[in-house]
Amino acid sequence: MAGSATIDKGSLLSPTSSRSVTETVNGSHKFVIQGFSLAKGMGVGKHIASDNFTVGGYQWAIYFYPDGKNPEDNSAYVSVFIALASEGTDVRALFELTLLDQSGKEKHKVHSHFDRTLDSGPYTLKYRGSELFSSESLYKDKAFLINWRYVFCDSLNLKCRGRMWGYKRFFRRALLENSDYLKDDCLKINCTVGVVVSAVDCPRLHSIRVPDSDIGAQFGMLLENMEGSDITFDVAGEKFRAHKLVLAARSPIFRSKFFEGSEEKNSEVEITDVEPKVFKAMLHFIYRDSLTEDVQLETSSSSPVSLVSDSLTAKLLEAADRYGLDRLRIMCESHLCKDISVKSVAEILALADRCKASELKAVCLRFSAENLAAVMRSDGFEHLKEHCPSLQSELLKTIAGCDEDCSSGGGKTRSVWAQLSDGGDTNGRRVRQRT
C-alpha cells in the first residue's frame, strides 16, 4: 500500500536502557560554643560562625545568633542557621540541626529533614554573588521562595534566605539557660548536611575484562627455565639455580647476603640449615607467592610423619622465620591452624613460639585454655612442661582471661578450671563442654 511503512524486526538494534539515581552525600560537623554568657548582648542579627566544613564537595558553616536574628523577638530566642560558604553555585540539600543534651539523658533537640517526606523536596541554597535575598523580596504571606517556587512557612519560623537555612526561633533563650543543653557555660550543636546528587547509570554495551594478575606464573617460569640465573644453591648435594635480584627483593636475609656484605661474591652457595624439599618449596613461594601443592594437600591425617614438627609445613614455617619471609610465615600458620587438636596443640604451640608465629601461638593458647583437662593428659603437654617452661606462665594468663570470659557469659559456659576434674576425649578436635 502506498505511503505505508513496515518495520523489519530483524533489523532492529538491541534495546538500551539507563537509570537515574538520586541520593544524598551526608556529612556532619559539631560546633562547640564555649562562653555562652559572654556571647549574649552582642546584638540582634550578629552571629558566631563555626569553622567551614566540607560535605559533598561544598563548604558549609554554622551560624549561631545568641540574641536572635529577628528584631521583632527582642532577643527572646536564639537562632541557628546553616550557611553555604561555597561561591558560584546552587546546592540542593537536606539539613539536620541538633542541640545536644549534656546531661547524659540523650534528650537532644532535633530539627531534621531526614527520614521524612518534604512536600517541596530538598531545599535549594542559591548563589547570588555576595548578596542575600532581602526580606521584602523573600517573603510573601508567610511564605518564602525556594528554587523559584513558594513553600508554606511553618510555625517554627523556618527560613531559607538564599545562602542560608535555619530557625530564627530555634530555642527560647530563658529556657535554654536553665536546661540540660547548657553545661559549664557551653553549648554543643551538631549539624548534618545531605547534599543531593544525581547520576545516570547506563549499562555499557561493551566491556573489557581485565585478567587476574599472572606475575607469579611469569616469575615461576623464570625459575623453571633458569634463564638468566646468576646464583646456584647446593642443598645436601642437590643444586638449585635462582636469581639474586628476585631473592633479594623477597628476603632481607638474601638481600644482606648478596648486596650488603663485603665478603667475596660467589656464584654458588651451600645451604646447610634447610632440607632440599623445604628449600624447593621456599623458592616456589619466593617466585610464585603461593604454597606448593605438597604443602596445600598436607594434613595431619594425610602426613606420613607422626610429629607435626616433622611435617613439610612446619619445616617451611621454620625456613620462613629464618629467611624473613613474613607472608610465607602467615600462610604456614594458617595451614597449621587447621590441624590443631588435643593431641597436637602442645607441639604446635612450641613450634609457633620458636618461629615467632604470634597468631598461631595465640590460637594454640586459647585452644589449650578452653580444653585444659584433655590437653594436660596429652603426651605433648609433658614435653611442653619439660622443655618450654616459659610457655606455662603464658598459658596460665590465657586461662585466667578465658575464665573471666566464661564467668561473664551468664553461666552458659563452664569455667576452664572445672575441666581439670573432668575426663576428655583426647582424640577430639574440641572438647569444650557446655551445660
Alpha-carbon radius of gyration of the chain = 36
User: Burial of 372 by CB count in 10 Å (0-12 exposed, 13-18 middle, 19+ buried)?
Assistant: buried
The answer to pTM > 0.85 is no
- Burial label, 266 (beta-carbon count in 10 A; 0-12, 13-18, 19+): exposed
Q: Per residue in 332-343, pLDDT tens?
A: 999 999 889 888
Judge whether 424 and 377 are in contact, CB under 8 Å.
yes
The confidence score (pLDDT) of residue 432 equals 42
Using the predicted structure, report yes or no on whether residue 269 has a pLDDT greater than 60. yes
Pair 125, 89: CB distance under 8 Å: no
CA distances, 176 to each of 43, 100, 172, 173, 186 (Å): 18, 12, 6, 5, 11
Q: What is the pLDDT of residues 113-128, one digit of tens each?
A: 776 665 666 767 655 4
- Rounded distance, CA 140 to CA 152, Å? 10
Instruction: Label residue 332 exposed, middle or buried (CB < 10 Å: 0-12, 13-18, 19+).
Output: buried
Query: Of 52, 86, 96, which Cα lies nearest the Cα of 191?
Result: 96
Q: Which CATH number fits domain 219-339: 3.50.50.60, 3.30.710.10, 3.50.30.30, 3.40.50.620?
A: 3.30.710.10
DSSP symbol at 209: P
Domain 20-129+158-199 maps to which CATH number in 3.40.50.2300, 2.60.210.10, 1.10.287.90, 3.90.1150.10?
2.60.210.10
| pLDDT tens-place string over residues 389-407 | 788 778 878 887 755 554 4
C-alpha distances in angstroms, 402 versus 121, 350, 357, 417?
55, 20, 21, 10
- 167 pLDDT tier (thresholds 50, 70, 90): confident
Q: Where are the domains of the chain?
A: 20-129+158-199, 219-339, 342-402
CA distance 82 to 93: 11
Q: Domain 342-402 - what CATH class?
A: mainly alpha
